[in-house]
Amino acid sequence: MLTERQKLKVLTGLGIELNRVKDLDILMERILTEARLFVNADAGSIYIREGGELHFSYTQNATLQKRLPAGAKLPFSIFSIPINHESLAGYCVMTGKSLNIADAYRLDASLPYRFAKQFDRASGYRSRSILSIPLKTMPDEVTGALQVINPRDESGKVIPFSKKDEKMMLHFASIAAVALQRARMTRDIILRMIRMAELRDPEETGSHVNRVAAYSVEIYERWAVKKGLPERDIESGRDTLRLAAMLHDVGKVAVSDLILKKPGRLTPEEFEMIKQHVIVGAGLFADRKSEFDEAAAEVALNHHERWDGTGYPGHPGARPQVPGKRGEEIPLFGRIVAIADVFDALSSRRSYKPPFTEGEVLETMRQASGKQFDPELLDTFLACMDSIRSIRMRYPDRDSESR
């Protein structure tokens, strides 16, 4: 448990630490981790405001996590609630006021809000003490809610949140809200770039790139932990890869939509034109000023290389017959995104094919181990399929959402 002096020290450096994280999803995970540590809470969640609804965007639960096998993650829960006085998070966002509840199961019937017990019933968890804090970027602008649940004393017993906890968490939430707003702006800028590519290639959607990026992070994190990389390096790598993977096909803006939207087989000449998108994409980050620029160029250029050396664009230099990069000549992030991109493409509807079943996708990819894909990374991917399925549910295609 943190002492009051340690909490003040955390608050002092929190803004700097959170502003080092660029990606929205990874930032939400970091905020929850820090918030729970701050008040020794067992669980927590973040709700993000989208129009008239609150999206349940991220959750952590130490008790439920302990029930899972080593390395496994809690699945994403995906739902939205209206912004009104009836739910705890909705009340916080609607009024801009925090709620400090000693026992969620013993709320006075005269209160306008209620605690929804569905999650507890489904998981066997018992939410008791809840502190729900509005995420404010300005006094009159609430962008979501941060909840921490079940603080524990030194013996592990669940206790109520103190008034001091509430006051400190209000400061914590104000810093977190500003960081979240910055990360959302970064995500929005990237998605606007994706929409430009989508004008040419209808398959290059926000849902597709979010899935590919999230799959890539799962593969990288599992691989990095297995390799014993330092935690700080893993966190930095995840953050950089998440954004870079979203832009893996941004170079398609330079390819004719007559080719990208062609329903039939491409001619050899048309396929050569398609290949240029990796060079164009990498070229967009030629003036490299950061780790993100390096990673984005690396991913854009190398995600169509193949483990056996038959991919493209290959080594710089002699053309037209350029040998493809082989094995570990292909940068790590390129090898990871190659797996994530192919999985999503095979799993999704395309103009030239229906979606494959999961069984068909996995069998196809297993057969390509050691040929198209790095065998070790493919095994890592196959080991985290529960998380992969949850990500696919988190970012559905727009036509799925409308049905």
pLDDT tens digits, one per residue of 113-142: 999 998 899 889 999 999 999 999 887 789
Answer whether residue 189 is part of any domain.
Answer: no
Kindly list the distances between the CA atom of residue 321 and the CA atoms of 212, 251, 270, 275, 305, in Å, as whole numbers in the listed order: 30, 22, 17, 13, 15
pLDDT tens digits, one per residue of 60-89: 999 999 988 876 777 766 778 899 999 999
Domain boundary among 154, 183, 212: 183
**H-helix or E-strand spanning residue 23:** none
> 157 versus 197: which is more confidently predicted?
157
Kindly list the distances between the CA atom of residue 242 and the CA atoms of 149, 188, 218, 221, 237, in Å, as whole numbers in the listed order: 28, 14, 10, 11, 8
Of 22, 136, 252, 325, the active-site residue reads 252
Domain boundary among 137, 154, 183: 183
pLDDT band, very low/low/confident/very high, at 2 (cuts 50, 70, 90): confident
Asked if residue 396 has a cis previous peptide bond (ω within 30° of 0), the answer is no
Question: Do 396 and 285 share a structural domain?
Answer: yes
Answer whether residue 317 is part of any domain.
Answer: yes
Answer whether residue 191 is part of any domain.
Answer: no
Question: Do 162 and 237 share a structural domain?
Answer: no
Q: Is 151 left (phi over 0), alpha (psi -120 to 50) or beta?
A: beta
d(CA 172, CA 82): 25
Residue 171: which of 23, 16, 38 has the closest Cα? Answer: 38
Question: Do 271 and 300 share a structural domain?
Answer: yes
Per-residue pLDDT at 308: 96
Residue 58: which of 176, 168, 140, 141 has the closest Cα? Answer: 176
Answer whether residue 192 is part of any domain.
Answer: no
Question: Do 158 and 98 share a structural domain?
Answer: yes
Asked if pLDDT for residue 318 goes beyond 60, the answer is no
d(CA 44, CA 130): 9
169, burial (CB in 10 Å: exposed 0-12, middle 13-18, buried 19+): buried
d(CA 346, CA 361): 6
d(CA 298, CA 254): 18
Burial call 43-61: b when 16+ CB within 10 Å, e when fewer: bbbbbbbeeeebbbbbbbb
Question: Do 299 and 150 share a structural domain?
Answer: no
DSSP letters spanning 100-135:
EES-GGG--TTSS-B---HHHHHHT-----EEEEEE
% of the chain surpassing 90 pLDDT? 67
- Which of 93-97, 285-289, 364-368 is predicted least confidently? 285-289
Question: Do 227 and 365 share a structural domain?
Answer: yes
Tokens representing residue 125 in the block: 């968890």
DSSP letters spanning 255-281:
S-HHHHT--SPPPHHHHHHHHHHHHHH
Asked if pLDDT for residue 251 goes beyond 70, the answer is yes
Question: Do 268 and 120 share a structural domain?
Answer: no
Per-residue pLDDT at 319: 56
Question: Do 387 and 239 share a structural domain?
Answer: yes
Evaluated on CA atoms 18, 22, 27, 33, the torsion sign reads negative
Answer whether residue 12 is part of any domain.
Answer: yes
353 assigned to active site: no
Question: Do 321 and 177 share a structural domain?
Answer: no
Residues 6+ apart with CB under 8 A from 386: 72, 73, 75
Instruction: Average the pLDDT over 193-216 and give the result.
Output: 83
Question: Do 216 and 147 share a structural domain?
Answer: no
d(CA 285, CA 233): 22
Q: Domain range for residue 89?
A: 4-183
Residue 184: which of 45, 24, 349 has the closest Cα? Answer: 24
Per-residue pLDDT at 102: 96
133 contacts 91 by C-beta, under 8 angstroms? no
Domain boundary among 156, 183, 210: 183
Question: Do 205 and 124 share a structural domain?
Answer: no
Q: How big is the CA angle at 66 (ends 35 and 41), to the nearest 5 degrees?
A: 25
Answer whether residue 297 is part of any domain.
Answer: yes
Count of domains for the chain: 2
pLDDT band, very low/low/confident/very high, at 257 (cuts 50, 70, 90): confident
Answer whether residue 193 is part of any domain.
Answer: no
d(CA 212, CA 392): 9
Asked if residue 316 has a cis previous peptide bond (ω within 30° of 0), the answer is no
150 contacts 128 by C-beta, under 8 angstroms? yes
Answer whether residue 188 is part of any domain.
Answer: no
In three-state secondary structure terms, 297 is helix
Q: DSSP letter for 59, please.
A: E
220, burial (CB in 10 Å: exposed 0-12, middle 13-18, buried 19+): buried
Average model confidence (pLDDT) across the chain: 90
Question: Do 208 and 167 share a structural domain?
Answer: no
In three-state secondary structure terms, 139 is coil
CATH number of the domain enclosing 89: 3.30.450.40
Asked if pLDDT for residue 400 goes beyond 50, the answer is no
CATH number of the domain enclosing 320: 1.10.3210.10
Instruction: Average the pLDDT over 233-254 and give the result.
Output: 93
